[in-house]
Amino acid sequence: MKLFISTLIFNGLLLGPVSAVAAPSQEPVPERPVTLDQTLEWSMQNEEGAAYRILISKPEGEVPYSGGYPVIYVLDANAYFASLHEAKRAQEQFRQAIIVGIAYPGEAPHNFLRRSYDLSPPVPEENNTPPQGGQDELLDFIEDRLMPAVAERFPVDTHHQSLYGHSFGGMFAIYALFTRPDLFNHLVAASPSLWWDDSYLLKHERDFRQQVEAGEANVIHHSLSLIVADHDSLQNQQDASQLYQRIEPLSAYGLRSSFYTVEGEDHMSVPFVLESRVLKQILGSRHG
């Protein structure tokens, strides 16, 4: 051990050593990755062999009176899972929920190529760069593989399953409502890209409205929340507002809808101020 010799000097005279002090330790401080309490992760593949990371925010507390926990499925979970999980845990009234993050392998917050395929409609070959058109493959994966896997591990309230997406994810959530209205009870679409592919969702919207009005689609206890940032593009804001105006009359058939603008935020920042609003919109909803 190295020692530092302390001496006492008085009037310029060296009076000799006073004490011996051990040198500061040079041992490095151990480091380890940060982990999120009350979470788990597993890997899955869809029918085509594409891999996903499934991130789970575990429920806390007793099983609700319904016999199962409400479930929130979150798209682009590499970016949005952690903050939503912590917002849930910090507020006692939300802790019974299960959050299921649909994430991609790797550490990037957004996997541009994978999400461009998973969340979009098919397009002509000459426009298929990057590859697009996987929206039904992803819905099949969620319905046929992911939901059963979650239900194997936890008691699930099958009447309270929700989907949350941002941008392309918001567009995908609306597509899910229009084409598979029985799959999710509550959908939250933040800054949805309704302009994509010449507003391709308009046709699906017309078909959905006709089905609801004809009694072929049951939307009682269902909801759609549309959220935009006030610094989103003007087209994004107008498209979402106009969709809300067209959908709102379906409240006569049981579908609740809402439109909200977040002040002071832009397209990329808005998801990170929405955690509590998303939880309230979904978990505060009454269900059958």
Q: What is the pLDDT of residue 28?
A: 85
pLDDT for residue 254 is more than 70: yes
| Mean pLDDT confidence for 198-208 | 97
Name the β-bridge partners of 45: 51
Q: What is the end-to-end Cα distance of the chain in Å, rounded? A: 71
Q: What is the pLDDT of residue 9?
A: 40
Query: Which amino acid appears at position 64 of this protein?
Result: P
Q: What is the pLDDT of residue 27?
A: 82
Q: Is it the case that residue 276 has pLDDT exceeding 50?
A: yes
SS3 annotation, the chain: CCEEEEEEEECCEEEEEEEEEECCCCCCCCCCCCCCCCEEEEEEECCCCCEEEEEEECCCCCCCCCCCEEEEEECCHHHHHHHHHHHHHHCHHHCCCEEEEEECCCCCCCCHHHHHHHCCCCCCHHHCCCCCCCHHHHHHHHHHHHHHHHHHHCCEEEEEEEEEEECHHHHHHHHHHHHCCCCCCEEEEECCCCCHHHHCHHHHHHHHHHHHHCCCCCCCCEEEEEEEECCCCHHHHHHHHHHHHHHHHHHHHCEEEEEEEECCCCCCCHHHHCHHHHHHHHHCCCCC
> What is the predicted pLDDT for the residue at 178?
98
Nearest to 75 by CA among 120, 35, 33, 36: 120
The predicted-structure confidence for 220-231, as pLDDT tens digits, reads as follows: 999 999 999 999
Q: Which two tokens stand for residue 163?
A: 């989907």
How sure is the predictor about 25, in pLDDT bands with cuts at 50, 70 and 90?
low
Residues 6+ apart with CB under 8 A from 32: none
Q: How many residues does the chain have?
A: 288
Q: How far apart are CA 199 and CA 240, in angstroms?
A: 12
> Helix 234-247 crosses helix 201-213 at what angle (to 10 degrees)?
10
R_g of the chain computed on alpha carbons: 26
CA distances from 124 to 32, 115, 130, 133, 139 (A): 47, 18, 12, 10, 21
Q: Are 146 and 44 in contact (CB under 8 A)?
A: yes
Mean pLDDT over all residues of the chain? 91
Q: CA nearest 231: which of 266, 206, 197?
A: 266
The percentage of the chain sitting over the pLDDT mark of 70, rounded to a whole number, equals: 90
pLDDT bracket for residue 4 (50, 70, 90): very low
The sign of the CA dihedral 59, 77, 267, 127 is negative
Domain 36-283 indexed as CATH 3.10.180.10: no
